[in-house]
């Protein structure tokens, strides 16, 4: 795997969809165990912010390993892209979108954190998972 030196729209678009996918799966798992009507508002905001953060983190980490760019640019691009995907899917499915600020901040901060962790030398894989020379 080589690192691309330039901005690649297709990488960021794929990372945005990946980020939305991760957050949708985590949201579905959380909704199996948590009833929104019985939870305090503050806990509901924290729980609702966790899946986008986790999705943004995964997308930022993977994008940083493929694109040689600054972590905050990666976090901003993947976070905004994932937010737009989330917005479009929510409006298409439910007809409305709630929690704009918290979802946007969670995606962007998660993407920045994932980009920062992905850029650390101690977090990079040497050769890949199936390489004999590790």
Confidence of residue 60 (pLDDT cuts 50, 70, 90): confident
Each residue's pLDDT tens digit, 10-35 = 888 888 888 888 888 888 888 888 77
In this predicted structure, the answer to whether residue 89 has a pLDDT above a threshold of 80 is yes
How many Å apart are CA 104 and CA 85, to the nearest integer?
11
Up-side HSE of residue 109: CA atoms within 13 Å toward CB? Answer: 11
Q: Can you give the pLDDT at residue 67?
A: 81
How many Å apart are CA 89 and CA 17, to the nearest integer?
11
Across the range 27-48, mean pLDDT stands at: 77
Q: Can you give the pLDDT at residue 124?
A: 60
Tell me the pTM: 0.77
How many Å apart are CA 16 and CA 74, to the nearest integer?
11
Q: Can you give the pLDDT at residue 133?
A: 52
Each residue's pLDDT tens digit, 98-112 = 777 888 899 899 989
């Amino acid at each position: 795997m080589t690192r691309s030196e330039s901005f690649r729209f297709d990488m960021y678009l794929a990372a945005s969809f990946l980020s939305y996918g991760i957050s949708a799966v985590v949201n579905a798992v959380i909704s199996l165990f948590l009833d929104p009507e019985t939870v305090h508002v503050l806990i509901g905001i924290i729980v609702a912010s966790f899946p986008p953060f986790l999705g943004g983190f995964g997308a930022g980490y993977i994008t940083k390993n493929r694109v040689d760019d600054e972590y905050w640019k990666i976090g901003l691009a993947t976070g905004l892209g994932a937010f737009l995907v989330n917005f479009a899917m929510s409006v298409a499915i439910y007809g409305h979108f709630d929690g704009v600020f918290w979802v946007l901040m969670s995606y962007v901060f998660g993407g920045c954190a994932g980009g920062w962790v992905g850029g650390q030398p101690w977090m990079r894989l040497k050769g890949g998972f199936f390489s004999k020379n590790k």
